[in-house]
């Protein structure tokens, strides 16, 4: 019986190695991402590539996000920050190729490189965190309403298109 188990252990080990991806073995397909703001206490909303809200919270907080967004597609998230008295801000969090993905050349083979890691999203990684500076508190006008001052780079693209040059 012992020799039968010994004879099976090598083929089973090789099969497990060949049917898995290196990044799937060593890396991960979900990552904790620290979400911070200055000042702290800002509300935030995380939207995926299709615009679906996948998480909401208050800074500082760590959220767990998927690194992949489909076959051979890394995830991208938009995080919108808001805090009363401050101008709203948005940042983008992009995935990048995991160095462990190249381990498939030695360990995962073509199956790991072309199937397992791309499907599971393990071929991608996310940054450890993101942070935004909400700037100074917004000034109130004489009627007690918020007066928001923004630089042009703080405006979303759709609002920049509507700007009219005055000088």
Is 77 inside a domain boundary? yes
Q: Is the pLDDT of residue 60 over 50?
A: yes
Question: Exposed/middle/buried for 79, CB within 10 Å: 0-12, 13-18, 19+?
Answer: buried
Q: What is the pLDDT of residues 24-42, one digit of tens each?
A: 444 566 789 999 999 999 9
Alpha carbon distances (Å) from 1 to 10, 13, 19, 30: 15, 18, 27, 42
User: Percent of the chain, pLDDT > 90?
Assistant: 27
Does residue 99 lie in a domain region?
Answer: yes
Residue 23 pLDDT grade (very low, low, confident, very high; cuts 50, 70, 90):
very low
Task: State the residue range of the domain holding 36.
Answer: 2-133
For residue 76, give the CATH number of its domain.
2.60.40
Closest CA to 30 of 67, 61, 62, 56: 67
In this prediction, residue 103 carries a pLDDT of: 60
The pTM (predicted TM-score) of the whole model is 0.63
Answer whether residue 80 shows pLDDT above 50.
Answer: yes
Q: Span 147-152, mean pLDDT?
A: 72
> How does residue 53 score in pLDDT terms, banded at 50, 70 and 90?
very high
- Name the domain count of the chain: 1
Do the domain assignments include residue 100?
yes
Domain-embedded: residue 166: no
Asked if pLDDT for residue 48 goes beyond 90, the answer is yes
Residue 58: the pLDDT is: 94
Q: CA-CA distance, 146 to 149, in Å (whole number)?
A: 10
Q: Is residue 139 part of a domain?
A: no
């Amino acid at each position: 019986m012992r020799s039968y188990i010994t004879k099976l252990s090598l083929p089973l080990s090789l099969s497990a190695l060949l049917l898995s991806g290196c990044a799937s073995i060593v890396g991960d397909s979900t990552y904790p991402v620290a979400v911070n703001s200055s000042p702290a206490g800002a509300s935030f909303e995380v939207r995926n590539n299709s615009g679906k809200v996948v998480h909401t919270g208050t800074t500082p907080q760590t959220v767990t996000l998927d690194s992949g967004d489909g076959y051979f597609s890394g995830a991208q998230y938009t995080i919108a920050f808001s805090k009363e008295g401050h101008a709203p801000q948005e940042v983008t969090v992009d995935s990048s190729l995991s160095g462990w993905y190249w381990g498939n050349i030695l360990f995962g083979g073509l199956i790991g490189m072309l199937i397992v890691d791309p499907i599971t999203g393990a071929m991608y990684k996310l940054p450890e965190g993101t942070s935004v500076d909400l700037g100074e508190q917004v000034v109130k006008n004489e009627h007690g309403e918020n007066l928001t001052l923004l630089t042009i780079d703080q405006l979303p693209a759709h609002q920049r298109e509507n700007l009219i040059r005055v000088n």
